Structure 1
Amino acid sequence: MDVAEVLREHWDLKVSGLEVLTGGMNSATWLASCGADRVVLKAVGVDDESFGPGLEVARRLDDAGVTTGRPRASKRGRLVELVDGRQVAVLEYVDGAELVPSDQVEIGDVLGRVHSAAPLESGETADWLRFLLPFEDSLDLEPWIRPAVSAAIADAVALGPVSWAWLHGDPAAEAFRRQADGRVGLIDWGSAMRGPILYDVASAAMYVGRGVVPAYLARRPDLTEEVRDGLDVYLRVRYAVQAGYFAWRITTNLLTGISGPADNQKGLADARRSFGL
């Protein structure tokens, strides 16, 4: 992809410098200098159904005061343009240091702000869990995967109705940025979706530890009982997603965002260990 030409043609931006960014598991990204301005161009496959909705959520949250890497509309007023068989968006660059796992208080606090700014009516847990279906054909890669995933799904359904919001979907520490003024932003909304708040909280706890929970509940004390009763259940759901995702990557030999096949095997082994297997 000729990134400079895409930015000129679709966003009317003249590029003076370009840098490839690393770390995206399912996307390609570039940092472009356009005079004194810096933007990120992000490209994903045409079958990525979360990309457009994630951009809309990022824009809405940015309006509510959460720094998200706001998407810029193209010359035609679109957040997404189709270029060379890929979906492409341009985002405001969020400078600052990535958070680390010890920054649990800041991570929990920002997640609480996100969910407060983007609440939704609760939906059916069983219907929501259908987002695991793309991994269905890969769950027999190893004999433990399908039973573990099925048990996690059954436990979440049995828990009953829970609170919903727009979710980040993958709140690892590196998605959070501490800016020069001390504020913390949350970028990379490619996994955003509607769903149970507990899924985001469990995801953060999986990545950085349960220290996120008190900070989250300081923002959302109304959810104290719900988090107490449901966190472990949704941690198993999060492990199930990781198991299905890496099984799918292995069976399709998908190597984007990693150094080689061993990284996919490690992701699956980590999921198995999380289930105590």
Structure 2
Amino acid sequence: MDVERLLLERWELKPVRLEVLTGGMNSAAWLAAADGWQVVLKSVDAGDGAFEPGLRLAARLGDAGLITGRPRPSTQGRLVEQVEDRQVGVLEYVGGVPLTGTVEDQRAVGELLGRVHEVSAAEPGNLDDWLHLITQFDQYLDLEDWIRPAVRSALDAASSLDDISWAWLHGDPAAEAFFRQSDGQVALIDWGSAMHGPVLYDVASAVMYAGGRPDHVVPAYLGQRPELADEISAGLDTFLRVRWAVQAGYFAWRCANDVRTGIADPAENLKGLADAGQAFETADR
């Protein structure tokens, strides 16, 4: 992909510096800069159905005052441009210091997720349809003996829940997607996994990334959305299993197809799958 030419032709941006960014599991990205501006050009497969909704969500949240790395429309007014077999977007560059696993940072994650869900609250969808997030990996669930029974237990538990709240979700709120700004505000970027779904999924994901401990993430989240206290108390453990089921299916797919995007060694796929198995084993004790 000729990134320099693409930026000029589709966004009327002429960079004087281009830098390949690493670390994306399902995307490619470049940092482009000139005097007075810095943007990130991000490219995903043409079939990635979450890319444009994620950019629209980032723009909506940006309008509400959150820092999101919002998209910059092309000269044709589009958030996404089709380039051969790729979708391409240009996003505002967000600097700052990525959060880690400290208590203060876990609280910041929970608080900001609560604000995101408050702005993006939506009518509930069909939970069985939403669980395609897991069932799309069905043909890979027999890669190891434990995967299918663990995933089935997670699906059954989720389907038994009633009256759960939905919003537009970030989808993968790992600490490294949050950046503390010089003025103390916290930004949330990387909207490539955004989706319409149960808020419990985002909360459980944040708890998973905090080592499975809800001690700081959940109280901070409820500080923004106290009306969800009973719902989170009743459903968090179930959605932690849902989150691990997603990881199990995803890494089973990557292992079966030797998908190496975003990693340096195939062993990282095996570790992702093993981590999911360990989490189920611990939860069942």
Residue 267 of structure 1 is matched in structure 2 by 272
Displacement of 1:243 in angstroms is 0.2
Task: Tell me whether 1:155 sits opposite 2:157 in the alignment.
Answer: yes
How far apart, in 1, do the equivalents of 2:239 and 2:201 lie? 6
Displacement of 1:123 in angstroms is 1.9
Residue 202 of structure 1 is matched in structure 2 by 204
Residue 179 of structure 1 is matched in structure 2 by 181
Letter in 1 for 2:24: G
Task: Tell me whether 1:220 sits opposite 2:230 in the alignment.
Answer: no
Give the conservation status (yes or no) of the 8 Å contact 2:58–2:70: yes
Residue 97 of structure 1 is matched in structure 2 by 97
How far apart, in 2, do the equivalents of 1:276 and 1:207 lie? 17
| Paired residues for 1:111-126 under 5 Å | 111-126=113-128
Residue 88 of structure 1 is matched in structure 2 by 88
Letter in 2 for 1:144: W
Secondary structure at the counterpart of residue 79 of structure 1: coil
How far apart, in 2, do the equivalents of 1:33 and 1:141 lie? 44
| Paired residues for 1:1-277 under 5 Å | 1-102=1-102, 103-208=105-210, 209-210=213-214, 211-276=216-281
Displacement of 1:247 in angstroms is 0.3
Give the conservation status (yes or no) of the 8 Å contact 2:133–2:246: no
Displacement of 1:29 in angstroms is 0.6
Displacement of 1:158 in angstroms is 0.5
How far apart, in 2, do the equivalents of 1:185 and 1:122 lie? 27
Output one character per residue of 1:54-100: Cα deviation in whole Å (capped at 9) or x when no partner.
00000000001111000000011100001131000000001101000
Secondary structure at the counterpart of residue 190 of structure 1: coil
Displacement of 1:191 in angstroms is 0.1
Aligned length: 277
Displacement of 1:2 in angstroms is 1.0
What RMSD over aligned residues (CA atoms) do the two structures have, in Å?
A: 0.9
- How high is the TM-score relative to the length of structure 1? 0.98
Displacement of 1:110 in angstroms is 0.3
Letter in 2 for 1:70: R
Secondary structure at the counterpart of residue 7 of structure 2: helix
How far apart, in 2, do the equivalents of 1:43 and 1:124 lie? 30
Give the conservation status (yes or no) of the 8 Å contact 1:239–1:271: yes
The structure 1 segments of at least 4 consecutive aligned residues displaced by more than 6 Å after TM superposition are: none
Letter in 2 for 1:216: Y
Structure 1, unmatched stretches of 5+, are: none
Letter in 1 for 2:80: V
Letter in 2 for 1:267: G
How far apart, in 2, do the equivalents of 1:263 and 1:171 lie? 20
How far apart, in 2, do the equivalents of 1:149 and 1:244 lie? 8
- How high is the TM-score relative to the length of structure 2? 0.96
Letter in 2 for 1:94: V
How far apart, in 1, do the equivalents of 2:112 and 2:40 lie? 22
Identity of aligned residues (%): 60
Secondary structure at the counterpart of residue 137 of structure 2: helix
Secondary structure at the counterpart of residue 275 of structure 1: helix
Letter in 2 for 1:195: G
